[in-house]
Chain A
């Protein structure tokens, strides 16, 4: 029984370190600051989205619209700077507003219109995927593009905005840590602290576990649920800002994998430390786990098309850890 408890609790962490040890031996140059940074950078955007969706999982909901919120934010940032010729601050604010607005609408649909969470956010996903194409009639946004009315968009991505995607901070080694990784770490610590240590986070878990009991304990359940979707929307829009800053253009075809990768990271997080529930620390570890695995396999020359398969395997194993071994999945 004790052995089993330990297996559930530390199994996934041990697996992560085992993986790192294996790659350290098998792949040249895997253990280096640059490699570590690259791993974090590769999962930064999905990680931010995953932290957001964790908030909705905590209240017993789900947010399928995060991927499209991120790409919508990316298109909006590009539109604001390239077509409207505004500066970086306006672009960032516009993105965050989109995140808040979508979160509020999602929450409203789910709480007041009683649309089931999966369906409401699925609808929102389609809506946003379509909406982000309308202003440019389906074209990607880049400096010098021709607008539908024949004029040429002359604005450009401001340097300050691009810095969000390209600047690197010195950390012992010059130009080591990209802004996106710092954003990921800061948001991870913030949401972790919020969920674990504040009364709001605690009540969100209560809402997710027994909504009626939370309400009878005095919690404004509807507000908590709506806030969870707002958090998710805002995090997704931050992901979109990072994506736009990295690409330097509003690419209509990018960000296809964001939703699935983010959801996978959050669900893998259930297995970390035997939590068997959504949690910020687990989500972050889940994102890093996927990053380590893909980086290691890439360095060992595994073909790119095996990546999704590998992610799927990890997710399935993690779900088995969570539900079968801990026995908490029983309802």
Chain B
């Protein structure tokens, strides 16, 4: 097998100070194959990618590309040699204010031998060639800022492919795409695979992995803990190798609740949508699932007072509930862990402690003066409760891994007792072990409140909820008790309606 590897990493080591992040990694990539790299947060995936793409220098070990020594000092060198990386943050790969054609040829705007004057006709010609090779069906004159995330992703990848690389590295490319959008990405990846590109694909999403992988490499604690290349691929084995413990999809023991906390009657959250009615009981965990863009976030925000419903009424603990602001919702005991923590949750200028206390200043102060001792005690307690890995409560948020950042967001809202606890995509960009920790914590603490989860991934709903509601077209179209679920019916409901046929 080793002989035909296009790209080979041998015994790569890397330390930051005392901390050894990579302890002798050896990886091979083959032409025309998708190699999936799996690993929990902190396993060293991103460090490996950054070394390969020339961002970090390696400690020891060697890299070879097509039989020659590969030792990039800068990202530009790596690209020139034929190793191209598309990073997780889509907007890093495109310039939003330029049109698609210019983006596709951006890398030819500077460097040696480039004409001084910008020739729009030539740019469009070259861009068209690139787009055709990729099978990209996007208007080349459109401005990138007007494109959907998925289209931007395509442009970023097509731009990377304009270099005709031998090795393409994709770092969690589907983390902000809907499944229909992801399907388009997969089609593009299939095409690249046929063209003989060696692809290293990093992802947490099992559905992506099942769809794409020719080989799987699992990483744990800075070493390769398993390579799986015999068909059919042993997915469970790969997950086990990554986590180092036997995981099985624990079936939750579905609970029933007799005591209603929140009742929603005839709630309409979008013009033309059918009204929503639902009841959430004390002690139960309910998951709302559905595709991206079916109104999950709109419903979460309506319950939390960010937006007003078009019609309908809500009752919380027997009293009418119509929050006019997030402050009123919080005062009533309705808390929301918003999705996309970087955008909606984390206050970058604050450390862990101050991020945790953020919503509860009023309760933590006397005469409006904050009681710092209580603030610190709360932060320490919550760090313990959720097992947040940090040096102290004074750590900056940027020092934490994605999973731990998310734990801080959950810890923030669990610092006080909620009546209704809403979490919108709480497992987004979170490694599997942190996801399990958070889910376990949610279930363990569910008594006395209603817990409402909004998740796109069905697995996440199945793992955590007592009851699963399905949303489609801004309303709720199905309800399932999480015991002996009729998965086919559930999937039909998720996919149902004109939304699906359009996709």
7 tightest A-B CB contacts, nearest first: A209-B349, A199-B361, A218-B327, A217-B359, A218-B330, A217-B358, A209-B347
| A331 CB to nearest B CB, Å | 9
Q: Is B338 in contact with chain A by the CB < 8 A criterion?
A: yes
B326 touches A217 (CB 8 A): yes
The docked-state distance in angstroms from the alpha carbon of A169 to that of B369 is: 32
Chain A, 252-293, CB within 8 A of any chain B CB: 277
A277 touches B349 (CB 8 A): yes
The docked-state distance in angstroms from the alpha carbon of A212 to that of B301 is: 13
Given contacts A198-B370, A202-B370, contact A218 B347 (CB under 8 A): no
> Which A residue sits closest to B336, measured CB to CB?
A216
Chain A, 177-229, CB within 8 A of any chain B CB: 197-200, 202-203, 205-206, 208-210, 212-220
From A198, A209, A215, give the contact of B369 (CB < 8 A): A198
Q: Most chain-A Cβ atoms within 10 A of its Cβ — which of B306, B326, B412?
A: B326
The docked-state distance in angstroms from the alpha carbon of A197 to that of B306 is: 28
The docked-state distance in angstroms from the alpha carbon of A214 to that of B370 is: 17
A-B contact pairs, 15 of them (CB 8 A): A199-B365, A202-B361, A203-B361, A205-B350, A206-B347, A206-B350, A209-B350, A212-B343, A213-B346, A214-B347, A215-B326, A217-B358, A218-B326, A219-B327, A220-B325
A198-B370, A199-B369, A216-B304 given. 4 additional CB < 8 A pairs? Answer: A202-B361, A206-B358, A213-B344, A218-B330
Q: Most chain-A Cβ atoms within 10 A of its Cβ — which of B344, B347, B359, B368?
A: B347
Chain A hits for B306, CB < 8 A = 215-216
A-B residue pair count with CB separations less than 8 angstroms: 71
> Which A residue sits closest to B325, measured CB to CB?
A220
The docked-state distance in angstroms from the alpha carbon of A277 to that of B351 is: 14
Given contacts A206-B347, A219-B327, A220-B327, contact A214 B358 (CB under 8 A): yes
Given contacts A215-B326, A217-B359, A277-B349, contact A198 B365 (CB under 8 A): yes
> Which A residue sits closest to B372, measured CB to CB?
A197
> Which A residue sits closest to B327, measured CB to CB?
A218
Chain B hits for A217, CB < 8 A = 326, 330, 358-359, 412
Q: Is B348 in contact with chain A by the CB < 8 A criterion?
A: yes
Q: Is B329 in contact with chain A by the CB < 8 A criterion?
A: yes
Chain B, 407-431, CB within 8 A of any chain A CB: 412
Chain A hits for B364, CB < 8 A = 199
> Which A residue sits closest to B396, measured CB to CB?
A328
The docked-state distance in angstroms from the alpha carbon of A46 to that of B349 is: 27
Per-position binary interface string of chain B over residues 462-503, scored 1 when its CB falls under 8 Å from any chain A CB and 0 otherwise: 000000000000000000000000000000000000000000
Number of B interface residues at 8 Å Cβ cutoff, please give it.
Answer: 29
B329 touches A218 (CB 8 A): yes
**Chain A residues in the interface with B (C-beta under 8 A):** 197-200, 202-203, 205-206, 208-210, 212-220, 277
Chain A hits for B365, CB < 8 A = 198-199
B350 touches A199 (CB 8 A): no
Q: Is B125 in contact with chain A by the CB < 8 A criterion?
A: no
> Which B residue sits closest to A277, measured CB to CB?
B349
Chain B hits for A208, CB < 8 A = 349
A210 touches B347 (CB 8 A): yes
Chain B hits for A277, CB < 8 A = 349
B348 touches A218 (CB 8 A): no
The docked-state distance in angstroms from the alpha carbon of A239 to that of B256 is: 65
> Which A residue sits closest to B364, measured CB to CB?
A199
Chain A hits for B448, CB < 8 A = none
The docked-state distance in angstroms from the alpha carbon of A208 to that of B361 is: 17
The docked-state distance in angstroms from the alpha carbon of A206 to that of B306 is: 18
Q: Is B255 in contact with chain A by the CB < 8 A criterion?
A: no
The docked-state distance in angstroms from the alpha carbon of A214 to that of B325 is: 12
Chain B hits for A202, CB < 8 A = 354, 361, 370
Chain B hits for A198, CB < 8 A = 365, 368-370
Chain A hits for B350, CB < 8 A = 205-206, 209
Chain B hits for A212, CB < 8 A = 343-344
The docked-state distance in angstroms from the alpha carbon of A219 to that of B329 is: 11
The docked-state distance in angstroms from the alpha carbon of A210 to that of B338 is: 13
From B336, B358, B368, give the contact of A200 (CB < 8 A): B368
> Which B residue sits closest to A205, measured CB to CB?
B349
B326 touches A210 (CB 8 A): no
Per-position binary interface string of chain B over residues 371-410, scored 1 when its CB falls under 8 Å from any chain A CB and 0 otherwise: 0000000000000000000000000000000000000000
The docked-state distance in angstroms from the alpha carbon of A217 to that of B368 is: 17
Chain A hits for B349, CB < 8 A = 205-206, 208-210, 277
| A38 CB to nearest B CB, Å | 35
> Which B residue sits closest to A58, measured CB to CB?
B349
